[in-house]
Chain A
Amino acid sequence: MQRRDFLRGLSVAAASAVVVTPSVSFAADEKPKGSNALSYKEALAAVTGSKTPEVSKKIALKVPEIAENGAVVPVTVEVDHPMNEDDYVKSIHVFATKNGNSRCVDAHLSPANGKAMLSTRVKLGETQEVAALVELSNGTFLISSQSVKVTIGGCG
């Protein structure tokens, strides 16, 4: 009897150890999520709604192919589109597809800009694609993306 109890206790302890250890290691590996965390798919859907953006060569997305420092990656988006009163580029969105918060900039433009262009510097956590989404005043969406190789990640 004593031997049986002992074995039973041992198996329970082993089972609990099995259950506990992975959860502990998982908690240690899990990165904290920021308050603004939003995946690329969700962020894209939030902007475009039900429409599907078409891949366009009108967008000139300038990003370095290899970024040595992920903390400072220059991004320039230029759109070859007229900026008239009735036909203009309404907004330019820049997304970093694998960042915790994939949204970088939403720039809402107007005909008073004269030229549709946006330039800034973003942080990239790992090697990933940078996407530029452009909304025209007639409601169509254009998209262009380019992959960036990041040597040292820049997100803390």
Chain B
Amino acid sequence: MSKRKTLIKVKPNKYKNGDIVKVSFMVMHPMETGLRKDKTTGKFIPAEYIKNVKFEYNGKVFTNMNIWETLSVNPVLTTYMKVDGEGVLKVTFTDNEGAVEESSQKIKPKG
């Protein structure tokens, strides 16, 4: 499976140490329920969804989400995070077939 397109957004753009920032994780994923039929062949499209999303900041997991196929196509997951020094924000997600992918972004507080 090729790598999925992901995007991590941190809001607001400028933040200081100790600030609480909004972290959004977006991934391009079909989130197939396995109950939809292919109109041309009449067969069910196999289920394909993300099972688990883990938000890590400097190696420490701060949010762990179990999600199911009931989420929309191209899911967006938003949570808050307390900035505590420079570091790396890493998001790891696991497929229903066990494929693990990760994406990361640098956290650089100013001031």
Interface residue ranges, A against B (CB under 8 Å): 31-32, 34-36, 71-73, 76, 96, 99-110, 112-123, 154-156
Tell whether, in the assembled complex, residue A112 and residue B72 are in contact, meaning their CB atoms are under 8 Å apart: no
**Number of chain B residues whose Cβ lies closer than 8 Å to a Cβ of chain A:** 34
Complex contacts, A118 vs chain B, CB 8 Å = 77-79
CA distance A100 to B68 in the complex (A): 11
- Least CB separation from A71: chain B residue: B72
* Proximity string of chain B (43-65) to chain A, C-beta cutoff 8 Å, 1 when within and 0 when not: 01001000000000100111111
Residue of B nearest to A37 (CB): B35
Chain B residues within an 8 Å CB radius of A73? 72
Q: How far is the CA of A32 from the CA of B63 in the complex (A)?
A: 33
Q: How far is the CA of A137 from the CA of B47 in the complex (A)?
A: 35
Q: Are A109's CB and B79's CB within 8 A? A: yes
Find out whether the CB atom of B67 lies under 8 angstroms from the CB atom of A110: no
